[in-house]
Structure 1
Amino acid sequence: MKLLKKSLKIVLLLLVLLSVGVWLFTKTLHPTYEGELQLASISDKVTVFYDEVGVPHITAQNQQDAYIALGYVHAQDRLWQMELIRRISAGRLAEVFGKDLVRVDKFFSGLGIEEAAEKTIQELDKNSEAYKLTEAYLNGVNQFIEEGATPLEFYLVGLEKENYTIKDVYNVFGYMAFSFAVAHKTDPLLTEVKEKLGESYVNELLSSYNENLTLNKTTNKKTIHADFSIAVNEIMDKLPVSPFIGSNSWVIAPPKTKNGKVIFANDPHIAYSQPSVWYQNHIKTPDFEIYGFNLALMPFPLLGHNTNYAYGLTMLANDDLNFYVEENNPEDPMEYKTPEGYQKYELWDKHIKVKGGKDTTYQVKVSKHGPIMNGLMEQVKDKRPIATNWIYTQLPNKLLEVSYKMSHANSLQDFKTGAAQIHAPGLNVMYGDAKGNVGWFASAKLYELRDSLSSKMYLNGASGKDEIIAYLDFEENPQAENPSWNYVYSANNQPDSVRGKLYPGYYQPEDRAKRIVELLEPKNDFTKQDVAEMIYDVTSPVVPEIGRELLASVDKSSLSPSAKKAYSVLEKWDGEYLKTNVAPTIYNRFLYEFLTATFKDDLGKSFQLFIDSQLQDQVLAQLAKREQSVWWDDVSTTDKVETRNEIITTAFQKAIAFLQNQLGENVDDWTWNRVISVEYEHAIGKAGGLLRKFFNVGPFETIGGNEVINNQIFKLDSTGVYKIHAGPSTRRVIDFSDVENSIAIMPTGQSGNVFSPYYKDQAQKYVDGEFVRMNLNEEDIKKNKNKLVFLPKK
């Protein structure tokens, strides 16, 4: 018995020592928010005050010192995020996560992002301020790598830290550009619809693009197996870093505001993750100031403001990626046909390291149009060589200079010269300033193809007839400066005409655009609070109309009492997505059953790809009105041809039966909060179990839904449970009548370090529609208790 007691005491002591050891170890992993540290390469003291939500306010005597400090503090909060995002375009995720990510690495490394980066870097002006400040920022990042605490994630996956170079910055640009592109998901699907179902099917889909539009007005009037699309969709789903999706922004001119000053709003829509995608920071020197939102490894903010001006962005959704079908030489598969004869493919040798597995080597064949994608994804069964022609890698890349210029502009015209240099991804760049100017610029290298040629189909690479004829001058791009209607806005919707016709792209349906205009038009006394409420708005002006169009074809005589009550609820719906609303639950299940009955028999395994796509969103409003459609007939029933009424009535009955089984017989209990939720997933937290609880943030109940201003994006599927996967990556409201008290919010928190008090401190405020201050007042900033001082290293 004595021996047992002694053994238990020893075990207890060991457990206590282990717990203390773990606790002491984790204390070394916390970010440093106060005290003094020495930094090499700075010339003078740099002071960093951390405010109540962990935003660093950096004060330095010169920009060189400020950007070194920014690199250091950014890395200590977000090094793990930096590590993941720099590996995507380089094809290096399998080094961290093993063989499951080889497909992702193979795809991204074959896009030519690294090759384009190397060419760009060779041609950079090493004496430019943009280059020198980028090197200063990377200096700070690398000093943290060498001297700061290693994030917990590196220990968990067994990863050694590596220093960063300017090539990593360009790899981040490349990933951002690709995630904005939509063609890789849509063009192969449309091509297969045309080739396997016929012209009438694809024409009906494409004709919807010119219907139900809220145009963004300008002031410069001058059984389908879509293997490629499915494969790209699967690859994007596996990424441990957020892809970019959409966005809202509007800028209200002084005549429409109560205080006679510009009010600026922006909320870029990006896939949710933990940490949040943006890193807030405030830099002030004697000759410069910016409060910015930076992506990982980007020294200059893509969203920013100071006391003089504010800027932000949304996705333009223009078509900057085309697919060309090449024709191999029958005598030599290493050659392809051109109008001038056969040419040799360029060859890129690629090597992928695989954690816990055998390394992979392969070659990428490259035509004049771009890399051949067939060999990069085993799912692609097409025998024809398909080249990806992407403007991002085809034209000179000036994104470093662009981001520098936008954050260092001295006037609207100065700012515009920066926006004009954007080639890809296409962006709606939004602007407002203290002088009362407002502006919207569709910034991209827009181009022309020959008449009648659709960029949404595979193009002929061998004929020479499907090449880009001309690139447009920036002044021809859709844009508006100080328009007579006193506001500018963007919701990824169709911009007004270019050269007399609507410019093709992958624009979102009119829902958010229509709601923004609906709220902006009648009011001329906007305040900051009005705009804060508007950016959290969850009413769609479009989906109730779609619902009623569909209900008109439902045979009410065939409905049960519960189904009739559900019919009445949906018929009276005003489009609001609140937690206690029942109509959104009914509508989204009805929509899924309607889309299933209409498209699944024809599209087969590509059906889920289609209903998750922007294409389905664009088609829906017009399809709901069609009395006749080639899609109505269910091809699986050979003895009859279904009518619109039969398809829709059956879909509604199935929806009600599903909801009764899922949520109970009482329609009043089918509230929206029972089926929708949001959780911000960490790359390691996705593994589940204790890691999920430790690293992930949430889940939370929330309001909102697809294509409302507070865009909470989810996928429709058979489960009837809606896991929100994307939405506003930040909400910002800048009021130039009180610019020092402008407001913003992040989905989770400022830090990506799980031991930081700022890891998830904004999460509940975010889902509740609250904001925190973006402080520009120097006296207030100095009152913050957390003060970190960087001194020159001796």
Structure 2
Amino acid sequence: MRRLLKRSALVLLALLVLMFIALGWYLHTKRVQRDGSALLMGLSANVQVSYDERGVPHIQAQNEADLYRALGYVHAQDRLFQMEMVRRLARGELAEILGPKLLDMDRLFRTLGLRAFADGYTAKLDKDSASIKALTAYLDGINQFQATHPAPLEFDLLHIPKRPFTIEDTIAVSGYMAYSFAAAFRTEPALTAIRDKLGADYLKVFDLDWHPSGVMQTVPALAQHDWMQLDKIAQLSQAGIEQLAIPQLEGSNAWVVSGKHTASGKPLLAGDPHIAYSAPAVWYEAQLSSPGFELYGHFQVLNPMALLGHNQQFGWSLTMFQNDDIDLVAEKINPQNPNQVMFHDQWVDLTSREETIQVKGAAPVKLVLRKSPHGLIITDAFKDNYGDAPIAMWWTFLEADNPVLDAFYQLNRADTLDKARTAASKIGAPGLNVVWANAKGDIAWWAAAKLVKRPANINPSFILDGATADADKTAFYDFADNPHEENPARGYIVSANFQPVSPSGIAIPGYYNLYDRGQRLDQLLSQPGVKWDTKNSQALQLDVQTNYASRVLRPLLPILNQVLVTPEDKRLLDSLSKWDGNFQTKSIAPTLFSQLIYQIAHNAMVEKVGATQFQNLLRTRALDFAVPRLLDDPHSPWWGKAANVNMDARQTMVLAAWNDSLVHLRSTLGADSSRWLWGHAHTLTHRHPLGQQQPLDKLFNIGPFVVPGGREVPNNLSGPIGPAPWNVAYGPSTRRLIDFADTSKALGINPVGQSGVLFDVHYNDQAEMFANGNYVNEHTNSADVQAHAREHLVLQSH
């Protein structure tokens, strides 16, 4: 018996060894090849790829076609699954691999029209243009890698079939990036519901008026089930994307300082676009070199043109313009014909198209999607479940000439002011702030977008009436009307998503961020006598303070002083009174402040607007503007009626919010308030699409990391307003600093790592450095690249 047990144990051990060997071999087949040689058909000559210590490829080719084909190949090695997920999201094809739970998300994106738009847009492209030739070569490199290598691990787990990537995929993904800017889906229904259900007095706190001097200085009634339609669209536009851990663009900082204010005497460019965190990260870094062209770029999936980049001569960064380029329009239906709507005083027919969604494990779903003269009927996405009132969507991305591929192809080569301006003028949607500099000393900023002319006195923050002229679009403004600056006398430019001012005085509706972050950057950059370099610029990018906390606390502290009486309350209030607004990890004041402003907004608004619309409001910038204005107005209708004869309504509600905040913090962070440190409550985890379920989260997700920063400070590690604890949802997607006196010393950082391949050495090798606020060198000159090369891959033509 003992011999039998021993033999069985040996057999079991042997099986385990064989299993581990098989698993090791399986994972080995998924590895990224960065050394040796590989065959890449279609090359006219061998391409040299040197990988540095962070896994960044430095590609040297003899011509542009070879360069972009090689970029596609190496990009696919590291990010093929990310490419697959983003294209399926944009084209409404997730349910095909993830099943019925993603059907509503597919319904939404089919209704947005990105798939149909991409197909039609591609058919009209000039295939001989330089940008399309570059894209075609890049996609060929991706497809060759996919066809000749084992599928990524995630493909096997989800049983994703391989299929070639196309130009249509790239156009659809660019549409998703434009859509991810769009706050209209969350903001317009919420504000319209407040206006129509509660009245105009309730809108005063949101500060919806245009400020002509800048900040640096009626719709048809909808039934309840129709509001439910819009609520679901708003929720899906946010929650589903968060669940899939697919990057969504949120804000950004960028500034440029002329040589007269730098230590080196040359311009210094800084940029940190704010994008939702994920694993892998949104940006893929690569240096491209061919005769007559060199660029160190940051690339997004399925796009061979760098959206951020620099070389020895010039460079640029981006922020989100935040202009409102989407209008929601309530259509008036003909009572005698439900397929007609009122347009310019007559009934006109809706056009329609039919699409089929493939669903894993279930029958295909057919959608009939309609269009009015105002745009696609987005409520058709869920017509079977909710009301009948059609809401159309007019979107600049779908309606305007938008040669965005040409724009960035030219921007990748824009070494002069004129070239950069011309490139920026081609960007139609989404709206982007292009912040640019060159080594010759020029600095500039252009708010790049097609700005639409709307009828006078129309506020597109609300759903518009399609039966009137309110929803008409007469034309687009000239690019010269867009906000911009070129070599301003002050010697620096700041872009931080605040409301800009047009040189021609036109109002530019939008969903702009708080102005405090821009004012903070402007205040520090305008300090007399300071000479900027990459060292003090790091401190500026990592700054965690603005004036917003002071603006909120100015009316709040006197109220709290009047209503708080216990020693514990007084002690906590003292910590708020002495707080300077810094969101540092070892302070309890940011924790108390963040919980309290959420609780005040919740207690004042949730019963009046409903739980769903309140959740939508939490994900808008409108609420950021509302909180200090609400606290400043003791007569605001949001306070309701006083329930205590010794207090007014504002005092009553603030006291209740304070008590609710302490109850919540004790239940989540513990009874000892000295342990309510911001670092205990505020953490960053980079989530992978497969990391949404246990135990895969332990395998694929990266983090959590304790991080400073917060909502609308320069180091904008943040998320929606909400209760503790706070999981950072978005923030700097990279931090770049380029001094044009010596671009070989440019600094940057990736929030996680270059690779999206699990167990790869570069999967998460920068995550801790990023959380700690560290920077790394971006190697550009040949000597530095050679000195830091760790592996070398030769892509051979035959």
* Contact 2:46–2:797 (CA under 8 A) maintained in structure 1: yes
Q: Distance in 2 between matches of 1:631 and 1:566?
A: 26
Q: Does 1:762 align with 2:766?
A: yes
Shift of 1:429: 0.9
- Give SS of 2:576's match: helix
Q: How does 1:202-281 map to 2 (within 5 A)?
A: 202-207=203-208, 210=211, 214-215=215-216, 227-239=229-241, 240=244, 241-281=246-286
Q: Distance in 2 between matches of 1:708 and 1:65?
A: 43
Q: Distance in 1 between matches of 2:473 and 2:717?
A: 37
* Contact 2:258–2:442 (CA under 8 A) maintained in structure 1: yes
The one-letter code matched in structure 2 to 1:53 is R
Q: Distance in 2 between matches of 1:666 and 1:164?
A: 55
Of stretches 653-662 and 423-432 in structure 1, the one that deviates more from structure 2 is: 653-662
Query: Which of 528, 542, 553 is equivalent to 2:559?
Result: 553
Shift of 1:86: 0.8
- Give SS of 2:746's match: strand
Residue 288 of structure 1 aligns with which residue? 293
Residue 596 of structure 1 aligns with which residue? 602
Residue 101 of structure 2 aligns with which residue? 100
Q: Does 1:749 align with 2:750?
A: no
Query: Which of 469, 481, 484 is equivalent to 1:464?
Result: 469
Of stretches 598-607 and 720-729 in structure 1, the one that deviates more from structure 2 is: 598-607
- Give SS of 2:270's match: strand
Shift of 1:649: 2.6
- Give SS of 2:19's match: helix
Shift of 1:638: 12
* Contact 1:169–1:298 (CA under 8 A) maintained in structure 2: yes
- Give SS of 2:341's match: strand
Deviations 1:350-376 (A, max 9, x none): 111111222111110111211112221
- CA distance change for structure 1 residues 666 and 26 in 2, over 3 Å: closer, same or farther? closer
Which consecutive unaligned segments of at least 5 residues does structure 2 have?
218-223
Of stretches 2-11 and 432-441 in structure 1, the one that deviates more from structure 2 is: 2-11
* Contact 2:545–2:713 (CA under 8 A) maintained in structure 1: yes
* Contact 2:669–2:681 (CA under 8 A) maintained in structure 1: no
* Contact 2:45–2:796 (CA under 8 A) maintained in structure 1: yes
* Contact 1:212–1:510 (CA under 8 A) maintained in structure 2: no
Deviations 1:240-291 (A, max 9, x none): 2111111110111111111111110111111110000000000011210011
Of stretches 533-542 and 280-289 in structure 1, the one that deviates more from structure 2 is: 533-542
Of stretches 196-205 and 533-542 in structure 1, the one that deviates more from structure 2 is: 196-205
CA root-mean-square deviation:
2.1
Which consecutive unaligned segments of at least 5 residues does structure 1 have?
217-222
Residue 335 of structure 2 aligns with which residue? 330
- Give SS of 2:255's match: strand
- CA distance change for structure 1 residues 322 and 377 in 2, over 3 Å: closer, same or farther? same
Moved over 6 A (4+): 637-641
- Give SS of 1:596's match: helix
Deviations 1:546-586 (A, max 9, x none): 12321111244642111101111101111111110111011
Q: Distance in 2 between matches of 1:236 and 1:749?
A: 25
Deviations 1:374-420 (A, max 9, x none): 22136984532110111100112211111111112231111111110
- Give SS of 2:498's match: coil
Residue 430 of structure 2 aligns with which residue? 425
Shift of 1:116: 2.1
Shift of 1:590: 1.3
Residue 220 of structure 1 aligns with which residue? none
Residue 145 of structure 1 aligns with which residue? 146
Q: Distance in 1 between matches of 2:274 and 2:51?
A: 27
Q: How does 1:27-46 map to 2 (within 5 A)?
A: 27-46=28-47
* Contact 2:563–2:655 (CA under 8 A) maintained in structure 1: no
Q: Does 1:342 align with 2:347?
A: yes
Q: Distance in 2 between matches of 1:305 and 1:277?
A: 18
Q: How does 1:278-677 map to 2 (within 5 A)?
A: 278-339=283-344, 341-377=346-382, 381-497=386-502, 499-523=504-528, 524-556=530-562, 558-605=564-611, 606-633=613-640, 643-677=649-683
Q: Distance in 2 between matches of 1:211 and 1:7?
A: 83
Shift of 1:48: 0.2
Shift of 1:112: 1.5
- Give SS of 2:747's match: strand
The one-letter code matched in structure 1 to 2:623 is Q
- CA distance change for structure 1 residues 667 and 644 in 2, over 3 Å: closer, same or farther? same
- Give SS of 1:775's match: coil
Give the number of equivalent residue pairs. Answer: 784
- CA distance change for structure 1 residues 435 and 258 in 2, over 3 Å: closer, same or farther? same
* Contact 2:205–2:625 (CA under 8 A) maintained in structure 1: no
Q: Distance in 1 between matches of 2:104 and 2:646?
A: 43
Shift of 1:344: 1.9
- Give SS of 1:755's match: coil
Q: Distance in 1 between matches of 2:501 and 2:66?
A: 44
With normalisation by structure 1, the TM-score equals 0.95
The one-letter code matched in structure 1 to 2:11 is I
The one-letter code matched in structure 2 to 1:489 is V
The one-letter code matched in structure 2 to 1:440 is W
Q: Distance in 2 between matches of 1:269 and 1:377?
A: 31
Q: Distance in 2 between matches of 1:652 and 1:13?
A: 63
Q: Distance in 1 between matches of 2:741 and 2:232?
A: 49
Q: How does 1:767-782 map to 2 (within 5 A)?
A: 767-782=771-786
The one-letter code matched in structure 2 to 1:185 is R
- CA distance change for structure 1 residues 303 and 387 in 2, over 3 Å: closer, same or farther? same
Q: Does 1:726 align with 2:730?
A: yes
- Give SS of 1:170's match: helix
Residue 128 of structure 2 aligns with which residue? 127
Q: Distance in 2 between matches of 1:761 and 1:211?
A: 47
Of stretches 740-749 and 494-503 in structure 1, the one that deviates more from structure 2 is: 494-503
- Give SS of 2:13's match: helix
User: Could you tell me the percent identity over the aligned residues?
Assistant: 35
Q: Distance in 1 between matches of 2:151 and 2:468?
A: 55
Of stretches 675-684 and 589-598 in structure 1, the one that deviates more from structure 2 is: 589-598
Q: Does 1:714 align with 2:716?
A: no
Shift of 1:665: 4.8
The one-letter code matched in structure 1 to 2:761 is P
- Give SS of 1:414's match: helix
Q: Does 1:60 align with 2:61?
A: yes
Q: Distance in 1 between matches of 2:83 and 2:208?
A: 42
The one-letter code matched in structure 1 to 2:185 is H
- Give SS of 2:445's match: strand
Q: Does 1:685 align with 2:691?
A: yes
Deviations 1:616-640 (A, max 9, x none): 01222322322321211159x7999
Q: Distance in 1 between matches of 2:195 and 2:707?
A: 40
* Contact 2:407–2:426 (CA under 8 A) maintained in structure 1: yes
Shift of 1:493: 0.4
Deviations 1:36-87 (A, max 9, x none): 1121111011100000100000001111111110000000000000001111
- CA distance change for structure 1 residues 380 and 775 in 2, over 3 Å: closer, same or farther? farther
- CA distance change for structure 1 residues 56 and 558 in 2, over 3 Å: closer, same or farther? closer
Of stretches 491-500 and 659-668 in structure 1, the one that deviates more from structure 2 is: 659-668
- Give SS of 1:765's match: helix
Q: How does 1:178-197 map to 2 (within 5 A)?
A: 178-197=179-198
Deviations 1:684-717 (A, max 9, x none): 111121x111111011111111111110112333
Of stretches 656-665 and 23-32 in structure 1, the one that deviates more from structure 2 is: 656-665
Q: Does 1:111 align with 2:112?
A: yes
Deviations 1:210-232 (A, max 9, x none): 5996338xxxxxx9956514532
* Contact 1:309–1:431 (CA under 8 A) maintained in structure 2: yes
Q: Distance in 1 between matches of 2:561 and 2:786?
A: 68
Shift of 1:184: 1.1
- CA distance change for structure 1 residues 5 and 634 in 2, over 3 Å: closer, same or farther? farther
